[in-house]
Amino acid sequence: MIKKTLILSTLVLTMAGCATSAQGEDTTSTTNESQKETPVITLSDVEEAQQEWAENIIAIGEASLESDEKAEEKALETLETLYAYDDGQVLFKPTKAAEVPFRGTKDEALSYFVGGDIAEDGGFALEPWTDIRFDNHDTILNGDTAISSGVYYFTSGETNEEVKVEYTFGYIMDEDGDLKIQLHHSSVPFG
């Protein structure tokens, strides 16, 4: 009997302690409605960003037919709209760059697209290109970041020939939910 009383007393004291603890502090979990969910990049988002990039590169070449100033304006707009230079660091390794293979600033990227600050730059986007199509090898989706690699094809407006280039693009989602390029690496296939 003493054993049963002792067990019952221990149980009652334990329950009383739990009740006191529950009364003394709020142990319930609540959802903070002001917290935003982490945005998620989808494959469709990446494909749309690639299409937008292609359209902008083609538009730079078209603008160059009007004037160098128009081409530079369109290239700057492209860099500000599609690249993450305003959101942090961008890793940019363009295709036709040997002397200065990496472009860490928006001005260096602008020079690559339309010529200017770097002597080797002839203005890649001034070709003009009539078509650019992406053929993704694979895409890694990781919440608010994505990495895609594959081959893209540029059709020359002058020769109608298609140029094959390999790429890796890394994307982040900005505060407005827009994809921005944080990594741009492209190269001509080896051999």
CATH number of domain containing 138: 3.10.450.50
Q: Is the pTM of this model over 0.85?
A: no
Q: For position 35, what pLDDT does the model report?
A: 59
Q: Tokens for 82, please give them.
A: 């599609």
Q: For position 78, what pLDDT does the model report?
A: 98
SS3 164: strand
Residue 10 lies in a domain: no
Cβ neighbours of 185 (radius 10 Å)? 16
Q: For position 36, what pLDDT does the model report?
A: 62
- Residue among 34, 53, 50 nearest 42 (CA): 50
Into how many domains does the chain fold? 1
Task: List the chain residues with pLDDT less than 50.
Answer: 1-31, 33-34
Cβ neighbours of 18 (radius 10 Å)? 11
Residue 96 lies in a domain: yes
Q: What is the dihedral of CA 170, 175, 177, 178, to 10 degrees?
A: -50
Residue 165 lies in a domain: yes
Q: For position 39, what pLDDT does the model report?
A: 81
Residue 164 lies in a domain: yes
Order across the sheet with 91-93: list the strands: 91-93, 179-187, 162-173, 145-156, 129-142
**Domain of 62?**
43-187
